[in-house]
Amino acid sequence: MNDDGISGAVELIAIDHIRILNPRARNRRIHQEIIRSIESVGLKRPITVCRTSETQRTGVYDLVCGQGRLEAYTILGQKEIPAHVITATERECLVKSLVENIARRQARPIEVLDNITILRHRGYSNAEIGRKIGCSAEWVKNIGTLLDKGEKRLLSAAEAGLIPLSLAVDIARAPDAECQSLLMEAYNRGELRGRKVTIVRRLLELRARSGKAASYNVTHKPRARTYKPDELRKLYEREAARHRVIIRRAEFTQGRLMGVIEAFRDLLNVDEFVRLLSEEKRNSMPEFLKAAVLRRDGGAT
């Protein structure tokens, strides 16, 4: 059995015959590392695709897991990719993909919540969802309660570790008049201490004043720095010097490029050189360079 928990033979599948059912955003730096790894040592783990009833008709497979590897192969110009092929319905395939996304270590909390919402809407019980994503049924139930009540502020605070999930659920279920009492009880039990008490109290005030739906941002925008006149002058001089260096480099590069263009223009007027390029099948050049060589004004831009 491989790392994806899928057994069976590996097949080569055309990349343009694979459909991503549940696309997700990814960290650009981490994806670049995936690309470099595949480029240098090859694909370590095949992706997993699903053969559905539609596959027989259109030849298109649904991706279960391995979006990053699939996109890396595409960027590297590959046409086919090794894949474990399983057989399932489109619904089952989507669920497997959702569960695989949730199980990833670096899945963002909002992605986890969105995927739990989809699974609940598809009729899965709290216990079934919990088994699929490695969480308790009680945790899934509490998350579901907050989602059903639209308590995005409380969800954000619970995800940030500012408030226990059980306390967030108690607050969501209680009338507004009882929220401060619940907060005091949590403090007496030792569930809230120090700065968290102030932050949660501010959250409850925002919730009472502006509603439940908006997420709660625990970060604060830093105050804009004010500069003294002498500091502004030095900053301006530093930036001006930097721009002068950039301009000098651009002028130097432009001059070298003009030299290259003129050299190519002269060489392409020599019949023996053109014939030699043709015989050696070296008679193509980058389009931007070809356009510059053919221009009569001598420009390099």
* 204-245 pLDDT, tens digit each: 787 777 766 655 454 444 455 566 777 777 877 888 888 888
Q: Which CATH architecture has domain 1-98?
A: Alpha-Beta Complex (3.90)
pLDDT at 104: 54
- How far is residue 184 CA from its own chain's centroid? 40
pLDDT at 253 over 80: yes
pLDDT at 3: 43
pLDDT, tens only, 43-82: 878 888 888 877 778 888 888 888 888 989 999 999 999 9
pLDDT at 14: 92
- 119, 106 in Cβ contact below 8 A? no
With cut-offs at 50, 70 and 90, classify the pLDDT of residue 151.
Answer: confident
Domain range summary for the chain, segments of one domain joined by +: 1-98, 108-148, 157-218, 229-294
CA distances from 74 to 71, 117, 280 (A): 5, 31, 31
pLDDT at 89 over 80: no
**pLDDT, average across residues 175-200:** 77
- How far is residue 201 CA from its own chain's centroid? 33
pLDDT at 64: 84
What residues have CB less than 8 Å from 190, skipping those under 6 apart? none
Predicted TM-score (pTM) of the model is: 0.36
Round to whole Å and give the CA distance between 88 and 62. 10
- 131, 140 in Cβ contact below 8 A? no
pLDDT at 8: 54
